[in-house]
């Protein structure tokens, strides 16, 4: 088989890259090792419940925002219906506060009511997030002149590039409870390691503009791109694992486990770069030793009786550990898990009733965990951590949860790794430390002409929107290469 371009990996980044290139008139073959597309952006059905394997919400879908622009380029009849996820309940050890996903300013004002003495600092913190957000937005349209005089035009970004969120929080606040309330994004790093620019980007671009759930579950997003790709005559080979890539006279030879060989002028690798280094016969210019993947996660998917849910139950809650994020992270790094870990609980059937059978609801609990736990993720370890995370929900959200569970499934880092080949089951590709954000992330271009990288280990960022954008960046580079 011969083609213009092969895209390896049908996660969101590979789906975006391949559908854009097919729309732009190129011959595209998307290769995926699983029998289905989506990577982390997929859902699975069990006993009538449609569970989302990994993701729970997405931003960037409003008119003119990143994902919206990609979808607009692909146009077409079929649409994704976005259901708004209005608030996130932040449950701290002795305080519970709702964050309106459209209004970070309102969150700050709620905090001012709870911490009146910190009013001035909270307003300054808000201003800093807003100003940084404005500079980050302007960076999109940066001219060559501005690029040369970057420090003059982007003073905040220059100053904050190396800062962690912890450093910024410590500069403004003393109260540990308040600092925890301001660490309200689902991340795998504690404030002392997490990039402040990453927090400012997510807060100003995503949280303050609303987040959404796709009707029908996360699979609706990947199915949309799959349909668009097919519509533009792109080909998809599912159940085909790429096992070798070689290059002969400017033509790539891509081999799959089931003995299929595809000859291609260009390749976009939308898979874990450690994986790529095993299947590619040449170095491609990335020093993998310098990169740090994010931590992994343990997930419990529950089918429950919907009578269990009171009318004021939020669809998304963030229950924080009482030992604090720094200690919890230290435990994770040493291969342990807090006795009362931080958990994220989401109930997507509150947003879309149809994903659960009549009278039932879906509840999903996630906690960040190390890849290596005790002697491995055997049945005993799975039961132990499952009980630990359900206990957290029982204690803070749903006291009678154990009586109403009708179905339960767990996923460990090994499950995430097995389905997607992410490095040690990394959930966010590279972790968002100051030296792994924006231009510090691996470029979408490689040292090998015609080979490009997409996915959540590359620029610009992780998450559905970050990975989708990486797919668009790689598609733009490949298009230029193919038309040269």
Ligand X SMILES: Cc1cc2nc3c(=O)[nH]c(=O)nc-3n(C[C@H](O)[C@H](O)[C@H](O)COP(=O)(O)OP(=O)(O)OC[C@H]3O[C@@H](n4cnc5c(N)ncnc54)[C@H](O)[C@@H]3O)c2cc1C
What's the closest the beta carbon of residue 447 comes to ligand X, in angstroms? 20
What's the closest the beta carbon of residue 307 comes to ligand X, in angstroms? 27
C-alpha torsion angle, residues 213, 292, 240, 36 (rounded to 10): -10
Among 114, 111, 113, 86, which residue's Cα sits nearest to residue 100? 86
On whether the CB atoms of residues 175 and 111 are closer than 8 A, the answer is: no
Distance CA 252, CA 286 (A): 19
Nearer to ligand X, 212 or 232 (CB): 212
Helix, strand, coil distribution of the chain in percent, nearest 5: 40, 25, 35
Nearer to ligand X, 160 or 299 (CB): 299
What's the closest the beta carbon of residue 186 comes to ligand X, in angstroms? 7
Nearer to ligand X, 39 or 341 (CB): 39
What's the closest the beta carbon of residue 38 comes to ligand X, in angstroms? 7
Among 306, 440, 417, 484, which residue's Cα sits nearest to residue 54? 417
What's the closest the beta carbon of residue 436 comes to ligand X, in angstroms? 13
Nearer to ligand X, 164 or 420 (CB): 420
C-alpha torsion angle, residues 472, 476, 479, 483 (rounded to 10): 170
Structure tokens at 319: 């229950």
Distance CA 186, CA 316 (A): 11
Distance CA 429, CA 291 (A): 10
Nearer to ligand X, 111 or 426 (CB): 426
Nearer to ligand X, 121 or 294 (CB): 294
What's the closest the beta carbon of residue 461 comes to ligand X, in angstroms? 8
Query: What are residue 247's DSSP bridge partners?
Result: 252
Distance CA 449, CA 166 (A): 40
What's the closest the beta carbon of residue 45 comes to ligand X, in angstroms? 18
What's the closest the beta carbon of residue 119 comes to ligand X, in angstroms? 32
Nearer to ligand X, 167 or 408 (CB): 408
On whether the CB atoms of residues 275 and 245 are closer than 8 A, the answer is: no
Distance CA 84, CA 43 (A): 19
Nearer to ligand X, 49 or 173 (CB): 49
What does residue 372 show for φ and ψ, rounded to 5 degrees? -95, 120
Distance CA 88, CA 471 (A): 29
Query: What are residue 2's DSSP bridge partners?
Result: 263
On whether the CB atoms of residues 277 and 288 are closer than 8 A, the answer is: yes
What's the closest the beta carbon of residue 188 comes to ligand X, in angstroms? 10
Nearer to ligand X, 18 or 306 (CB): 18
What's the closest the beta carbon of residue 464 comes to ligand X, in angstroms? 4
Nearer to ligand X, 52 or 135 (CB): 52
Nearer to ligand X, 470 or 479 (CB): 470
Alpha helical stretches, state H, 252-292: 273-279
Angstrom distances, CA of residue 286 to CA of 201, 446, 453: 26, 8, 11
H/E stretch holding 268 reads: strand 261-269
Task: Calculate the CA 170 to chain-centre distance.
Answer: 27
What's the closest the beta carbon of residue 104 comes to ligand X, in angstroms? 17
What does residue 379 show for φ and ψ, rounded to 5 degrees? -60, -40
Identify the three-state secondary structure at position 44.
Answer: strand
Q: Which stretches of the chain bind ligand X, using CB under 6 A?
A: 8-14, 31-34, 39-41, 54-58, 241-242, 270-271, 275, 297, 299, 366, 416, 420-422, 427-429, 455-456, 462-464, 467
Nearer to ligand X, 154 or 373 (CB): 373
Distance CA 460, CA 446 (A): 15
What's the closest the beta carbon of residue 367 comes to ligand X, in angstroms? 10
């Amino acid at each position: 088989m011969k083609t213009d371009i092969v895209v390896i990996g049908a996660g969101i980044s590979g789906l975006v890259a391949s559908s854009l290139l097919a729309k732009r008139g190129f011959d595209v073959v998307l290769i995926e090792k699983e029998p289905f597309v989506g990577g982390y952006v997929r859902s699975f059905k069990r006993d009538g419940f449609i569970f989302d394997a990994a993701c729970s919400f997405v931003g960037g879908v409003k008119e003119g925002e990143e994902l919206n622009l990609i979808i607009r380029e692909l146009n077409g009849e079929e649409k994704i219906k976005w259901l708004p996820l209005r608030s996130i309940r932040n449950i701290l050890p002795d305080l519970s506060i709702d964050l309106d996903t459209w209004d970070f300013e309102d969150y700050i004002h709620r905090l001012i009511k709870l911490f009146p003495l910190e009013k001035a600092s909270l307003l300054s913190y808000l201003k800093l997030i807003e100003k940084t957000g404005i500079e980050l937005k302007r960076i999109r349209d940066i001219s060559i002149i501005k690029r040369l005089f970057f420090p003059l035009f982007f003073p905040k970004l220059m100053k904050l590039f190396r800062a962690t969120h912890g450093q910024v929080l410590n500069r403004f606040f003393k109260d540990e409870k308040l600092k925890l309330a301001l660490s309200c994004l689902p991340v795998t790093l504690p404030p002392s390691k997490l990039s402040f620019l990453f927090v400012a980007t997510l807060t100003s671009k995503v949280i303050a503009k609303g987040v959404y759930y796709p009707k029908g579950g996360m699979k609706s997003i990947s199915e949309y791109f799959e349909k668009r790709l097919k519509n533009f005559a792109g080909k998809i080979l599912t159940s085909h694992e790429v096992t070798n890539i070689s290059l002969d006279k400017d033509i790539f030879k891509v081999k799959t486990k089931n003995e299929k060989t595809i000859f291609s002028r260009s390749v976009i690798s939308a898979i874990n770069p450690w994986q790529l280094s095993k299947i590619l016969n040449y170095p491609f210019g990335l020093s993998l030793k310098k990169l740090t993947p994010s931590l992994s996660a343990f997930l419990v998917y529950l089918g429950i009786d919907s009578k269990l849910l009171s009318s004021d139950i939020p669809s998304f809650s963030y229950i924080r550990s009482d030992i604090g994020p720094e200690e919890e992270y230290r435990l994770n790094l040493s291969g342990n898990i807090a006795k009362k870990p931080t958990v994220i609980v989401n109930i997507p059937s509150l947003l879309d009733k149809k994903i659960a059978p009549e009278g039932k609801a879906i509840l999903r609990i996630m906690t960040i965990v190390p890849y290596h736990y005790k002697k491995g993720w055997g049945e005993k370890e799975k039961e132990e951590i499952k009980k630990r995370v359900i206990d957290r929900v029982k204690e803070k959200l749903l006291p009678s949860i154990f009586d109403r569970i009708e179905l339960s499934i767990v996923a460990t880092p090994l499950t995430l790794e097995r389905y997607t080949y992410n490095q040690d089951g990394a959930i966010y590709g590279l972790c968002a430390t100051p030296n792994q954000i924006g231009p510090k992330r691996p470029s979408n271009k490689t040292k090998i002409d015609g080979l490009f990288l997409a996915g959540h280990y590359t620029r610009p960022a992780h998450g559905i929107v970050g990975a989708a954008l990486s797919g668009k960046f790689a598609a733009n580079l490949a298009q230029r290469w193919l038309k040269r």
